[in-house]
Structure 1
């Protein structure tokens, strides 16, 4: 399926304008909208390719610039020490409630978009995996794919020792899929166990996968990229979205 990727919109949020990058199939039609949350580096080339891959399966993919309060529209942080330090600083600086108001603003804006059919999912990697997990607590979100979500078990997003994300997992009404690399130093076994226990106790509709990979194994072009796991992860994501949004029960 051919897609278009040239749409950028600056939408209003309670904390100022937020640039949103859109990817969708070419031609007329209304599609389920997938909110795609990036790593700490914002909308890099690997994130653009992830968005394009999902959009090409029949979805309207919206990628917000998560640090819009602190960086100019279009800012992409480099995959180097300076970019990493800046991205990590901002994820601890931005209050967690502002990530939630971003989601609410994005959902409200997409409801009025000509390409959205009024149904919503989420997807995220690294920091974005955590943000997708928070987005899943919005009642509009029906299906969420989280890859190697950071800071969930430590509760440190926004610089707060208890950011409340995991404690609120009972608010997740839709399906959620969690995918982890077993060699990821950011989320060790004990952390993964804590996250799964919380989801199981909440009775969440959960799909859980642990693979023999490292952190950021979806980031193509990087040393830890694993092509086989990338294809597996995309197949799992496609199956989740197809089950929720496409298949007639």
Structure 2
């Protein structure tokens, strides 16, 4: 019977120590790795369960604490107004260069990890969807799965609220998967259309899914959770990763 191993590693960046939580199948041969970027609340219970579920499909899943230079190691922000306010504050305080450096540190660490085949994908939800997409510019990332990524259409990630993620999309070499909720107020219809149009004009090959769901519909806490769609999305994700990382 397969079991999972859960651990963490503290990796050094120029802006301090970044804690990375890992979930992996026990006793398996080398497996592909997935950097899983969380919501603004960091590594919450729902994020841990999503990471464990993906690891059970045969992946080494690494979940970084994205606000490591601002909060003590192990900090989890609550799903309440105070947690939301702090998470959103830090989203626009952290510099783009810091987000990008974190990707490089993670890719280098996973590439040398004894349990990793060397194939690495990025995956994320909400803020993490944007970070997963941005990670796709790193040469070490083979596939990107971005679930309802925020701030892409508005180009407002990071300090100064001015990012170049979408502007550079034609540079992307990774396989791309996007999943959206049509009832998501954070990424309205015109925002989704802008992203889709930019992708089409770039000539990139990408996969695109929209569901009648709210923001954060994968999170298994709170009123927006849609368990039926969460199962569908897990199937979409694992099929996409299998095609991208195991071919």
Normalising by the smaller structure, the TM-score range is over 0.9
Asked whether the 8 Å contact 1:123–1:144 carries over to 2, the reply is: yes
Q: Deviations over 1:43-69 (max 9, x none)?
A: 000000111111111110000000000
What SS does the corresponding residue of 1:155 show, helix, strand or coil? Answer: coil
Q: Which residue of the partner structure matches residue 165 of structure 1?
A: 165
Q: What TM-score do you get using the length of structure 1 for normalisation?
A: 0.96
Q: Aligned residues, how many?
A: 247
Q: Which residue of the partner structure matches residue 136 of structure 1?
A: 136
Asked whether the 8 Å contact 1:139–1:172 carries over to 2, the reply is: no
Counterpart Cα distance in 1 of 2:25 and 2:5: 9
Asked whether the 8 Å contact 2:5–2:26 carries over to 1, the reply is: no
Q: Which residue of the partner structure matches residue 101 of structure 1?
A: 101
Q: Which residue of the partner structure matches residue 236 of structure 2?
A: 236
Q: Which residue of the partner structure matches residue 215 of structure 1?
A: 215
What SS does the corresponding residue of 2:153 show, helix, strand or coil? Answer: coil
Q: Which residue of the partner structure matches residue 121 of structure 1?
A: 121
Q: Which residue of the partner structure matches residue 39 of structure 1?
A: 39
TM-superposed deviation, 1:28: 4.1
Which ranges in structure 1 are unaligned for 5 or more consecutive residues? none
Asked whether the 8 Å contact 2:4–2:56 carries over to 1, the reply is: no
The correspondence of residues 145-184 of structure 1 with structure 2, limited to 5 A, is 145-184=145-184
Q: Deviations over 1:77-97 (max 9, x none)?
A: 000000000000000000111
What SS does the corresponding residue of 1:71 show, helix, strand or coil? Answer: coil
Q: What TM-score do you get using the length of structure 2 for normalisation?
A: 0.97
What SS does the corresponding residue of 2:145 show, helix, strand or coil? Answer: strand
Asked whether the 8 Å contact 1:5–1:52 carries over to 2, the reply is: no
Counterpart Cα distance in 2 of 1:107 and 1:66: 15
What SS does the corresponding residue of 1:53 show, helix, strand or coil? Answer: helix
TM-superposed deviation, 1:161: 4.2
Structure 1: 4+ residue segments shifted above 3 A = none
Counterpart Cα distance in 1 of 2:191 and 2:10: 36
Q: Which residue of the partner structure matches residue 54 of structure 1?
A: 54
Q: Deviations over 1:179-231 (max 9, x none)?
A: 00000000001000111111111122200011010000000021100011101
Which ranges in structure 2 are unaligned for 5 or more consecutive residues? none
Counterpart Cα distance in 2 of 1:36 and 1:5: 16
TM-superposed deviation, 1:138: 1.0
Q: Which residue of the partner structure matches residue 196 of structure 1?
A: 196
TM-superposed deviation, 1:113: 1.0
